[in-house]
Structure 1
């Protein structure tokens, strides 16, 4: 049963990451901000390999920030 819930979470995180990448590509922001957002997505992707629940939380925080127009500072 634990394995099934882990697979469901993995599928949900993967789908949400895909949405996040699409959202970042669509943003009208300076390239430096886009790069910072992509780095955050890469961190979430790497975290998913070791701590899937933490990656899901990080991704939801990132998506909330995007929805609310809060972007990281560029280089």
Structure 2
């Protein structure tokens, strides 16, 4: 049963990561901001390999920031 819930969480995180990448790619923001958001997505992707629940929480925060128009400063 535990394995099934982990697989479901993995599938959910993977689908949301795909959605987040699409949203970031389509944003009308300076390239530096897009790069900063892409780095955040890479961190979430890397975290998913080691701690899926942490990655899901990080992704929730990132998606909320995107929804609310809060973007990191670009270099």
TM-score interval w.r.t. the shorter chain? Answer: over 0.9
Partner of 1:73: 73
Partner of 2:60: 60
Gaps of 5+ in 2: none
Measure the CA separation in 2 of the matches of 1:42 and 1:17.
10
**Matched residue of 1:49: which SS?**
helix
Give the number of aligned pairs: 75
Q: How does 1:33-48 map to 2 (within 5 A)?
A: 33-48=33-48
RMSD: 0.3
Gaps of 5+ in 1: none
Query: Which stretches of structure 1, 4 residues or longer, exceed 4 Å deviation after superposition?
Result: none
Post-superposition offset of 1:67: 0.4
When normalised by structure 1's length, the TM-score is 0.99
When normalised by structure 2's length, the TM-score is 0.99
Post-superposition offset of 1:62: 0.1
